[in-house]
Amino acid sequence: MTQAQLPPIIDVTVENFETEVVRRSMTVPVLVDFWATWCGPCKTLVPILEKVARELAGKLVLAKIDIDKNPEIAELFQIQSVPTVILMKQGRPVDAFMGAQPEAAVRKLLEKHIPGAAPDPLAEAGKLESAGKREEAITLLARALHRESGSAPIRIALARMLVATGRLDDAKQIFAGVSGEALESPEAQAIAAQFTAAEKAGELASFEAAVAAAPKDVAARIAYGKALVAAGRYEAGLEELLTAAKLDLRFEDGAPRKAMIEVFNLLGQSDPLVLEFQRRLSMLLCV
């Protein structure tokens, strides 16, 4: 089996420890994860380690060791708590960390030891978007999603960018794969709100008439602003929402401000419109 064909994730026991960790680390770095079924932080960390290991397949192997089933190995490494993660190279430990860590911290540790370690696709896409290369960012995320179809953060980021470019049908297809707690995130809720508003995009004329009939009706302004955004007219929509905020910033528990923040999340923090209307909204908040 070539290095590129190595399984990126393996379960290690006392019986195969010498082969799968010590000997294996002579040719490819082995990230050893000491965990336990009763360990809450372990459940948070494992998906991150597995994601990174799959991305670095051929360059890294993740070896998972259940300390309750393999106390001899845990004692050998003097494991005091779980999760504890140790990076093995050339048969010896070269780096380690304890406790659940964010993905960025895990990647930072690995980059010191693995040349060309794959960057975080979300971070890379963010850089591209900030540089005005949203289409390239979309392509990058689409490829990342092909490798990790179950990644809710990638789906949400990709759906947001697709909506921002007016591809609502594509965005809905991608977003349909998001489930569970991920749907409760502010970014996901903003996208869901955009889909709901899009269904009413054809009613722009009636919304506009309602505002013309009652210019000081805050609810009418908010509805019209959201409809404009749904139709892809982001600047006009933000103007309507800002006008609603000027009329009554505290209307329905800050509904105008919340609606604007939904649009900010939709477009992305680097979008020039977002920067402009964030400035104008902050000035209003300071009055």
Note if 42 is an active site residue: yes
Q: In this prediction, what percent of the chain has a pLDDT beyond 90?
A: 60
* Per annotation, catalytic residue among 9, 39, 106, 163: 39
**Whether residue 90 is found in the same domain as residue 148:** no
Note if 39 is an active site residue: yes
Q: Print the domain residue range for 236.
A: 201-286
Q: What is the pLDDT of residue 185?
A: 87
pTM of the predicted model, to two decimals?
A: 0.48
**Whether residue 80 is found in the same domain as residue 102:** yes
Select from 111, 130, 160 the last residue of a domain.
Answer: 111
**Whether residue 96 is found in the same domain as residue 40:** yes
Of residues 149 and 260, more confidence is placed in: 260
Q: In this prediction, what percent of the chain has a pLDDT beyond 70?
A: 94
**Whether residue 28 is found in the same domain as residue 99:** yes
Of residues 55 and 253, more confidence is placed in: 253
194 within some domain? no
271 within some domain? yes
Q: What is the pLDDT of residue 263?
A: 93
Condensed to tens digits (0 to 9), the pLDDT of residues 7-34 reads: 899 999 999 999 999 999 999 999 999 9
* Per annotation, catalytic residue among 12, 32, 42, 125: 42
Q: Give the span between the Cα atoms of 167 and 169, in whole angstroms.
A: 6
Condensed to tens digits (0 to 9), the pLDDT of residues 181-193 reads: 888 888 888 888 8
- What residues contact 161, with CB distance under 8 A and at least 6 apart? 125, 129, 134, 137, 138, 141, 268
182 within some domain? no
Q: Are strands 61-66 and 92-98 parallel, antiparallel or unpaired?
A: unpaired
205 within some domain? yes
- CATH number for position 235: 1.25.40.10
**Whether residue 10 is found in the same domain as residue 97:** yes
**Whether residue 11 is found in the same domain as residue 86:** yes
Q: How many domains does the chain divide into? A: 3
Q: Give the span between the Cα atoms of 108 and 167, in whole angstroms.
A: 35
Condensed to tens digits (0 to 9), the pLDDT of residues 63-90 reads: 999 999 999 999 999 999 999 999 999 9
